[in-house]
């Protein structure tokens, strides 16, 4: 990609982050704090996994990430 930027390496880092969220230990919290922690972990995983599944292109200096959100049977 442009100027030493490696979009594939960036995408791989997001894949690693998604896997890290899955391995994340639940801290000793209960009640509302526990619910909030679990909700945030789900959002973190979702965001990291989506970018980890992206296909990157560089067009005129603009990084474009393409993410197919269709169900697998529609791809």
Q: Apex CA 47: angle with CA 38 and CA 53, to 5°?
A: 130
Strand partners, 58: 63
| pTM score | 0.80
For 59, phi and psi rounded to 5 degrees?
A: -130, 115
Number of structural domains (the chain) is 1
Domain span at 25? 2-74
Place of tokens 């067009």: 59
pLDDT tens digit string along 15-26? 999 999 999 998
Instruction: State yes or no: pLDDT of 1 exceeds 70.
Output: no
Q: Backbone phi, then psi, for 64, in 5-degree steps?
A: -120, 130
| Alpha carbons 34 and 26: distance in angstroms, whole number | 8
C-beta separation of 9 from 54 below 8 A: no
What pLDDT, in 10s, does the model give residues 5-59? Answer: 899 999 999 999 999 999 999 889 899 999 999 999 999 999 999 999 999 999 8
């Amino acid at each position: 990609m442009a100027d030493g930027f490696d979009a594939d390496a960036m995408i791989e880092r997001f894949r690693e982050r998604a896997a890290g969220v899955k391995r994340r230990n639940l801290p000793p919290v209960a009640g509302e704090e526990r619910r909030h922690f679990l909700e945030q972990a789900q959002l973190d995983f979702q965001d990291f996994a989506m970018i980890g599944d992206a296909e990157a292109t560089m067009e005129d200096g603009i990084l474009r990430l393409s993410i197919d959100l269709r169900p697998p049977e529609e791809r």
